[in-house]
Structures are given as C-alpha cells and as structure tokens.
C-alpha cells in the first residue's frame, strides 16, 4: 500500500495522541473519527490506515484509534 500525504499526516497525529470515534446518533454506523489537533475529520483516511494495518482500535477502548508497530515504523522511515 502506498501511503498518501494525508495518511502520513494522520500517522503523525496518532503518534502524538490517539484519535477518538464520535457517534452522531444512536445508530452503530453513524460516527466520525476526530483528533484534537486536526481541523478535519479523519474517518476515510483512518479507515484506509486500519485496512493497511498501520492503525488499529485500542484493545482497551474500541472508540480510540492508535498506531500499530507497522504504522510507527512507516512514520519513522518517512519522516526520520
């Protein structure tokens, strides 16, 4: 998987602090992923990082997204 600039920025955000899932209604699929340091929603970008194995749901809280070892290694390789 090729990492886009948006995905790389999101990895950098996750390196500083996890992203949180915010539900917009009571429906299970009606949510968005947000990060305190991002001005835009991260939902689509984060889903691509999940499917590529670069990010995952926290084992302690399924409403929190964190980096995987693969995501951290990619961030180090790309950004130094």
pLDDT tens-digit profile of 4-50? 999 999 999 999 999 999 998 888 788 999 999 999 999 999 999 99
DSSP alpha helix (H) spans, the chain? 5-16, 43-52, 69-79
User: What pTM was estimated for this model as a whole?
Assistant: 0.89
Torsion angle defined by CA atoms of residues 9, 11, 16 and 19, in that order, rounded to the nearest 10 degrees: 100
């Amino acid at each position: 998987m090729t990492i886009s600039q948006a995905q790389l920025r999101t990895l950098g955000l996750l390196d500083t602090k996890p992203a949180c899932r915010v539900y917009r209604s009571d429906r299970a699929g009606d949510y968005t992923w947000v990060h305190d340091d991002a001005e835009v929603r991260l939902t689509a970008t984060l889903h691509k990082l999940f499917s590529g194995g670069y990010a995952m749901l926290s084992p302690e809280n399924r409403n929190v997204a964190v980096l995987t070892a693969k995501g951290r290694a990619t961030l180090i390789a790309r950004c130094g």
